[in-house]
Structure 1
């Protein structure tokens, strides 16, 4: 990575796998790996983890084996898969590893349970298909070139693991898609000093005029360890501070004097229209002078709710959102390229949306980088399990905690969604345990991050929630408008059984204090299918017969909600066609079904 990119991480090229904790040298291991299926689950007893074992197949990482870009393209049920790759001298050199440093092996995401060996020695196990993990492979590197082996276990019949839109049936049906097994985000090497930064998060306080850095080090720092933080905006220094590190985890508060200028502080704030980002450089230095220098960035902004309004930096910001599945026909949950993530964010903005509700997926952090940089707000949502049990409770809670830790510094993330449509808690209206779990996830999320709204159960059957979100696929514009035109209409619509035939709220008002005054957002609507050239049977909530009919239907449902005097916003279903679910504004290859300027005018409510 070029030095100027390290100095200006807010202007990186979008390829670095961890955009808010950047080091000058890293090395991608994406590309050709050995690969084989283990349908009989014989690999562990058969010592498949041992180095030098030949493989029957190869695969292109990080594309899942179900996808075409992987070179495998097998969508059948395969609960266990194995990967292997030699780490050569040139790989070690590219990662800037040398004796005296530690070598880290990073995985962006492996679905669902990963066991990793280096030259036959187990170096770690990680469970959770959407969050990153790292292992130290220094011991193997000290002996020279070595082999990495990965076993990924992803049981398609296990309904208690967070799976999101991945189908449990052999073939995709209705709104569910092909599975994603094994490695589906970048694998990479990085060399670091023995004492190094393992985690960094930012939290801004506009009222106090400060930004706080939450720093985690790899070990308890020896006496005399110092941390230096330098902040700048567009090349101009904003602040510098030094602090003594005495604990493995610490918070350093940095005063930002420009924020105290009441007439000028808004020129530093992040908004959709002006996505300003502050560059940061952090150095952890031991008393012996050994340094770990990392670069980062953050955006300064607040998000809040006030009555019927959603606020950004204390200004009303109506939610104009689209449902984003984050699925590509040739690569499934994995993006086909780093550039595709940038293009996806730009497409959403070009179509007139200010917000993407990323649905049932913890998106690649490089997508969030481009949302930060280009100015797109994001709702982040936990992929659901489909069966309630103590096992699913444990798995969902752990993975959600990891996701929030990974992404809470991104200014683009403006809301957390731990549950969608009661998936995995189907009896939440009747089972106190399921209801308590939804309430617990809501409060856990607020405990982990108090700076953003939390939608406890998106769509219906709300416990307490920062937003009262509704899924309404009524496609008659007059009926849809009548449900939300004013406060009286909204109250009648939400009383008791809602548009989807589900209760809208579950708790007495005194047990849901935030929900009593929460903005009402139609977080799914539309779903109009228009796919005249489809080669498979398509599915949607309404069907357009022609491009003219498609435009008429879009103008009708968008206009019905835009006419409301009381809604806090809306989210259209959906951005792209995805397999049989052909209700996208663009097709699966991202080609708009109407001219971009026409879609934009509809989304923005322009004539």
Structure 2
């Protein structure tokens, strides 16, 4: 099979996140600072970019620069950014960022320094920057993502820590900054542990580092840190009545009664609401006219939010997504999802996706495929992906990195999962393209795991009641020509994701022709299926690693899928070959999972052409 936080917030939203981090990161008891607000819409604010060249030093295991022998974080180590005295005086810790090499941020260290290609551990990053504090403002260091644990110092002060490799975090640096020259030091630890999310045994490359944008964000003392603007999600949907926007704006530091304005000029919306005691201003307002977002017409509106001295403008589309029996309805109409899975692996250069060119290349592949959907597996991707999907009309499945076996029996691990879910939904709830939240992929079927994921699905619904919840299931194994999906986790899902690999991991391709599936009466997406093929390897239709055999597997899968009435989407594994350290067949894999429809350098396999035609003709699956 494909095996492939931060705020003392006024609302309850982040209290769980704080508890999660307190449980899961080793902290120096005397030095940990309060965790800070997670900002939404940073890519639509004016920021000071800290992207570029950062000095780096490798802290080889046991990482004595970061951890004490007891596993606590040191505050008298590299974070102080001292320099060795070459003439006299006491030693420092025998390091020096000033003379250290540099690498590009954002970026993973694995593809930038050949000596670190397979390195998993601690790397320190340091950068000098100039800054002029402004009275009546607060400044945050915004990190788009860093894998996996991060520890941040500014001007020798420990500011914040974060656990999780794929979601953003913000560290308030207002009190630490000074006029003129400043510096930031960030230690990133990519070491895998059994109680992390994901855990140890992943089937994708564990890229480490500051792999998304880093910036300084300066806001007024009272500022908008979170908001939700969406089409009202009524019990039933009527296109004629789809004219009401609702949601909230949260203003950090605002007393009750603070005015908040929401404007969508093109839709005739201009309304004012007042914050409650928690700084949250709820609103509901009718629009004079709305064009609903869809793949055919991906309409986005300029949504202006303001309160006091703070304001920002976001680009938001409005649409309704829901489940009706075994159908998925977009704006009241049945929709069939024609897509592919995609890891956050950069085409051509490999490494983590982290810039506009990477995203443009990926969406070029999707458009050539005639896709209307992409599953961003197995973790939240760079926010550029959702932004591009909003503009291009591509629907998204977004999931947190609960992949196969984690410690489902440990409350602290559940707290981490809740925190990651909060961060994913908080960042992307205003993206019209995101139509499904996924809580996991290929998890073992047992009562402990089922309760863990059921609770997590319900938490997702509490955070966002407007989107269906899914998970990619693995199993059952066939009994003769019968497959019965009776995993109890299906009870917690609105949409069932089904991974299966008949013709590759089990059985022959033609076994799919007579396979009969039984599912609960819910929409089903074939969330993974396929076979490996090395681009340019040709042979018979049953010859392993040949492009012809990959096509043969898919053609038999299509026969099977067309006989399952509630299938509402095809998501082959995978759009593009991606690095995986467990794929070690020389000359065929060479460290890559080869199930891609295209190679890592953008060459289309025969299977790509098969799906391209299938999606154009809409010859597999039905929306109704």
Report the TM-score when normalising by structure 1: 0.78
Query: What's the counterpart of residue 231 of structure 2?
Result: 204
Query: What's the counterpart of residue 597 of structure 2?
Result: 585
Determine if contact 1:227/1:243 at 8 Å carries over to the other structure. yes
Distance 1:350 1:458 in 2: 28
> 1:291-310: per-residue Cα shift (whole Å, max 9, x none)?
11101122211111222221
Q: Secondary structure at the match of 1:111?
A: coil
Query: What's the counterpart of residue 11 of structure 1?
Result: none
Query: What's the counterpart of residue 210 of structure 2?
Result: 183
Q: Tell me if 1:227 matches 2:242.
A: no
Determine if contact 2:123/2:187 at 8 Å carries over to the other structure. yes
Q: Secondary structure at the match of 1:98?
A: coil
Distance 1:177 1:587 in 2: 16
Q: Tell me if 1:252 matches 2:279.
A: no
Determine if contact 1:578/1:588 at 8 Å carries over to the other structure. yes
Distance 2:147 2:243 in 1: 41
Shift of 1:557: 3.1
Shift of 1:378: 0.7
Q: Residue 337 of structure 2 is aligned with which of 319, 324, 327?
A: 319
Distance 2:512 2:442 in 1: 20
Determine if contact 2:346/2:358 at 8 Å carries over to the other structure. no
Query: What's the counterpart of residue 217 of structure 1?
Result: 251
Q: Tell me if 1:65 matches 2:109.
A: yes
Q: Residue 162 of structure 1 is aligned with which of 173, 179, 197?
A: 197
Determine if contact 1:229/1:240 at 8 Å carries over to the other structure. yes
Q: Residue 317 of structure 2 is aligned with which of 283, 293, 299?
A: 299
Query: What's the counterpart of residue 84 of structure 1?
Result: 126
Distance 2:260 2:347 in 1: 46
Shift of 1:547: 5.0
Q: Residue 129 of structure 1 is aligned with which of 127, 149, 165?
A: 165
Query: What's the counterpart of residue 194 of structure 1?
Result: 221
Determine if contact 1:84/1:147 at 8 Å carries over to the other structure. yes
Shift of 1:596: 6.7
Query: What's the counterpart of residue 499 of structure 2?
Result: 471
> 1:301-330: per-residue Cα shift (whole Å, max 9, x none)?
111122222111111101222111121377
Query: What's the counterpart of residue 455 of structure 1?
Result: 470
Q: Tell me if 1:276 matches 2:276.
A: no
Q: Residue 421 of structure 1 is aligned with which of 428, 442, 466?
A: 442
Q: Secondary structure at the match of 2:127?
A: strand
Query: What's the counterpart of residue 116 of structure 2?
Result: 74
Distance 2:348 2:101 in 1: 19
Shift of 1:565: 4.2
Q: Structure 1's 136 and 75: CA in aligned 2 closer, same or farther, altered over 3 A?
A: same
Q: Structure 1's 542 and 439: CA in aligned 2 closer, same or farther, altered over 3 A?
A: farther
Q: Structure 1's 186 and 575: CA in aligned 2 closer, same or farther, altered over 3 A?
A: same
Alignment of 1:376-387 (within 5 A): 376-384=394-402, 386-387=405-406
Distance 1:560 1:407 in 2: 35
Q: Structure 1's 588 and 201: CA in aligned 2 closer, same or farther, altered over 3 A?
A: same
**Which range moved further: 102-111 or 589-598?**
589-598
Determine if contact 1:113/1:154 at 8 Å carries over to the other structure. yes
Distance 2:500 2:120 in 1: 37
Q: Secondary structure at the match of 1:59?
A: strand
**Which range moved further: 132-141 or 374-383?**
132-141
Query: What's the counterpart of residue 404 of structure 1?
Result: 425
Query: What's the counterpart of residue 345 of structure 1?
Result: 363
Q: Structure 1's 83 and 18: CA in aligned 2 closer, same or farther, altered over 3 A?
A: same
Q: Tell me if 1:531 matches 2:531.
A: no
Q: Residue 102 of structure 1 is aligned with which of 115, 128, 138?
A: 138
Determine if contact 1:239/1:254 at 8 Å carries over to the other structure. no
Alignment of 1:432-451 (within 5 A): 432-451=447-466
Query: What's the counterpart of residue 48 of structure 2?
Result: 27
Q: Secondary structure at the match of 2:188?
A: strand
> 1:257-301: per-residue Cα shift (whole Å, max 9, x none)?
335xxxxx5xx111111111121011111xxxxx11101122211
Q: Report the count of equivalent residues.
A: 518
Q: Secondary structure at the match of 2:63?
A: coil
Report the TM-score when normalising by structure 2: 0.76
> 1:540-592: per-residue Cα shift (whole Å, max 9, x none)?
x9856655555555444335424654422221111001132111111112232
Q: Secondary structure at the match of 1:258?
A: coil
Shift of 1:392: 2.3
RMSD value, Cα = 2.9
Shift of 1:52: 4.2
Structure 1 regions of 5+ residues with no counterpart?
1-16, 169-174, 260-264, 286-290, 484-488, 495-515, 535-540
Q: Tell me if 1:517 matches 2:528.
A: no
Determine if contact 1:64/1:332 at 8 Å carries over to the other structure. no
Distance 1:384 1:342 in 2: 28
